Copies of this chain bind each other. A is one copy, B any other.
Amino acid sequence: MSLPPDHPSRSFTANSYLRACRLQPVDRVPVWFQRQAGRSLPEYRQVRGDGSILRSIEDASLTAEITMQPVRRYGVDAAILFSDIVVPVNAVGFKIDVVPGVGPTAEQPFRSKEDLNRLRPLEPDIDTPYVLDAVRLLVEQLEVPLIGFAGAPFTVASYLIEGQPSRNHARTKSLMHSDPNLWHELMTRLSDISISSMRSQVLAGASAVQLFDSWAGALQPVDYEEHVLPHSRRVFEELADLEVPRAHFGVGTAEILSLMSEAGADVVGADWRVPIDEVRRRVGSKTAVQGNLDPAVCLADWPVVAEQTRRVLKAAGGKPGHIFNLGHGVLPETNPAILEQVVELVHTEGLNPDLLAT
């Protein structure tokens, strides 16, 4: 299907984020920050309260306000919906919450075939109407594109199987290796849910989507290729007809970047471990790249942050198809004034021939 003529994505023809996603020339390097809406902002802490994010986002106007905050403050080139990757699976009844200070936590983790029954298809209008209400509220107000998102099937599966954030993803890998049929069924259901969620966000007005496979880098390439890539590829294929840019992100993905690019996204984001020119080499010339300043660098004083921001810009070389971002989410202890300066620097110096020549 094609989006209607009045879809918001059609109004941002000059927006540098959308243009960079499509490898088109830009008049400045676009920048946004993963987890730009969040605890680093005093205005966020003021409105958000202490409870689970899953309760907060049921209030669409609060979601819209939180999503807008970093756009107002930083002048970034895109907004990203304030939400969480476990929202859809919780909404269909899996029962997983986001415990403040801990992360996604399931009292009854995924263990056997019977647990598939807790993962029926998502009906976005019925299961997550507040998400779509927030998208509609936002696109009325925003002067930049809104990025919708979902968790990738592997990373969501990891939370469901481990029951909590995990360092080694041992149970997840164990299920993958021990029961590949069940693994495949689980990944298929989670892919369906991610597809439905992202489609609904775009139809409600989002101008791009990002699939977060944050923990895919825990896998060796051969396991990623066999057990994850086919599912992520299907997610992107099922969104292709919408004709909005599709981005794909994970951390620690050095050795799977080229495989990730085979999943078919328009943009691949990477963490700080691989210099961005090398990221580009690995994903190929038909894919835009996003990143990749180490978020921990932003805890330092400005001269250090400036130097490392310039290093990323120089490595990107001012070529089309680079979206500046952090290599992972903004750390809660980050000083927002530093991120304001990063945006200013990226915008003013990102295409500066003198910088790029040094």
Contact = CB atoms under 8 A, between A and B. Distances in A.
Number of copies of chain A assembled together: 2
Interface stretch (A90-98, A105-113, A120-128, A165-173): A165-173
Contacts of A217: 252, 273
Chain B CB count within 10 A is highest, among A255, A273, A275, A333, for A273
A77 interface: no
Contacts of A177: 296-297, 299-301, 304
Interface string A197-234: 00000000000000000000101111100000000000
Nearest to A173: B296
A295 interface: yes
Contacts of A274: 254-255
A192 interface: no
Interface in A126-141: none
A328 B168 contact: yes
Contact of A294 (B220, B272, B294): B220
A331 interface: yes
A102 to B, nearest CB: 12
A178 interface: yes
Nearest to A273: B255
A299 B220 contact: no
Contacts of A173: 294, 296-297, 299
A296 B255 contact: no
A311 interface: yes
Contacts of A252: 217, 252, 273
A40 to B, nearest CB: 12
A169 to B, nearest CB: 7
A222 B171 CA distance: 34
A220 B272 contact: yes
Interface string A318-358: 00000000001001010000000000000000000000000
Contact of A295 (B168, B221, B273, B301): B168
A174 interface: yes
Given A294-B173, A331-B170, A300 B255 contact: no
B333 A170 contact: yes
Interface in A165-199: 167-171, 173-174, 177-178
Contacts of A222: 311
B168 A301 contact: no
Contacts of A294: 173, 220, 223
A4 to B, nearest CB: 42
B168 A296 contact: yes
Nearest to A174: B299
25 contacts: A168-B328, A169-B296, A170-B296, A170-B333, A173-B294, A173-B296, A173-B297, A174-B300, A177-B297, A177-B299, A178-B299, A178-B301, A217-B273, A220-B272, A220-B275, A220-B294, A221-B275, A222-B311, A223-B294, A252-B273, A254-B255, A254-B273, A255-B273, A255-B275, A255-B278
**Leading 10 A-B pairs by shortest Cβ distance:** A177-B300, A173-B296, A254-B254, A174-B299, A220-B272, A170-B296, A177-B304, A178-B300, A255-B273, A170-B331
Given A169-B296, A178-B304, A220-B294, 16 more contacts: A170-B299, A170-B333, A171-B299, A173-B294, A173-B296, A174-B296, A177-B304, A178-B300, A217-B252, A217-B273, A220-B272, A220-B275, A221-B275, A223-B294, A252-B252, A255-B278
